[in-house]
Homo-oligomer: A and B are copies of this chain.
């Protein structure tokens, strides 16, 4: 079973917004065994939309379209739907009641004609009710292809995918099994990892595909198995992960897609009733943000001080002014004091601190661009590392955040032994 995802909107084609909808839809469909053939972004142009529909007709089973359903004049998807399916727009009373309830009941505003027009839908479509907004989803079939149109607002699209589209696809189509297993490695580059596992990779069965997903400081390896027999697929994935772990167990920090390092850290801390805090300079709060992105983080994350200004390091974090003057603000000594002090201030078991120069200019600090000091205070000691993460600025910050998480996870594991 194959699907193509189409996003409509000039704002995507001129790079004004990044299309995150397609990724969410792809992940949701992949989980239920639907193969995504392509993702296409096209402009708000009727002829372009019609041509795209015609190309996809009978070549894929599903076409999922997002965007172009808002109340304003630049949204033309609904009219194009009518033209393609030779249909006309009619008022759907159930949608109208919902729109009226949202506008008058929740937002306490008088309903306008533009609001009411949201209830106009092609007469032949099956309505996908949108509890998160006023524009309904639409499901229409022509020959062997189902076209599903969803609003482009991410919250609304997500609600409709999870609550309407996926259940209906599961109900109406037979699909093969797809199993993915992601192995998360930290600390070695793509080439190095590839060389270590070359023999293992050459011996993978033909129904398992391996992909390398490198990013600064980490490489994810993704195994994908596709077939009819779930048991065989699972066994093959399990066996190959076991043999892989024997080869590169030293750099593997976790498995599976949801198993990001911050999730693993969260689980380790929760299990042991340990807590953590951060004191951040060059990473500007990003470590805190990553740690708190995990649901249930309030169990172990107590807080953070983002000490952007040197005076905040001294006055709020209590760094000794002499340390700053003697060693400079980007130094192992300052990083160490930051970690120790935030650990005391927040009363946590672990504390991580960063100070560095991410560039692009050298600024006040004497440190080379790319230099970052990372300090980790554990219940037993304080460890400081110095790195040079090169350039540009974003990469330095990303690599610093990833390195902090890697150091933290290894130390927590060590203290558990």
Contact = CB atoms under 8 A, between A and B. Distances in A.
B155 A191 contact: no
Interface string A30-52: 10000011111111100000000
Contact of A44 (B19, B211, B312): B211
Nearest to A304: B306
A285 B306 contact: yes
Interface string A373-400: 0000000000000000010101100000
A11 B190 contact: no
3 shortest A-B CB distances, which residue pairs? A15-B27, A15-B26, A303-B312
Interface in A260-310: 284-286, 288-289, 292, 297-298, 301-309
A360 B405 CA distance: 26
A23 B19 contact: yes
A10 B303 contact: no
A99 to B, nearest CB: 10
Interface size bracket, A side: 35 or more
A13 interface: yes
Contacts of A114: 191, 194-195
A210 B75 CA distance: 11
B14 A224 contact: yes
Binding site secondary structure of chain A = mixed
A287 to B, nearest CB: 9
A23 B17 contact: yes
Interface stretch (A66-74, A88-96, A166-174): A66-74
A402 B224 CA distance: 40
B303 A305 contact: yes
A208 to B, nearest CB: 12
B301 A303 contact: no
13 contacts: A9-B211, A13-B38, A13-B39, A14-B224, A16-B180, A16-B182, A17-B23, A18-B20, A37-B43, A73-B201, A114-B195, A303-B306, A315-B347
Nearest to A210: B74
A317 B347 CA distance: 14
Interface of A: 9-20, 22-28, 30, 36-44, 70-75, 106, 109, 112, 114-115, 132, 153, 155, 180, 182, 190-192, 194-195, 201, 209-215, 220, 222, 224, 257, 284-286, 288-289, 292, 297-298, 301-309, 311-312, 315-316, 345-347, 390, 392, 394-395
Given A26-B13, A308-B301, A316-B345, A39 B36 contact: no
B23 A212 contact: no
Contacts of A19: 18-19, 22-23, 39
A306 to B, nearest CB: 4
Contact of A13 (B36, B42, B71, B309): B36
B312 A222 contact: no
A159 B413 CA distance: 38
A214 B153 contact: yes
A364 to B, nearest CB: 9
Contact of A303 (B15, B17, B307, B395): B307
Contacts of A395: 155
A412 to B, nearest CB: 19
A70 B303 contact: no
Contacts of A307: 303
A222 B26 CA distance: 29
Nearest to A257: B16
A194 B109 CA distance: 15
A18 B18 CA distance: 9
Contact of A285 (B27, B73, B288): B288
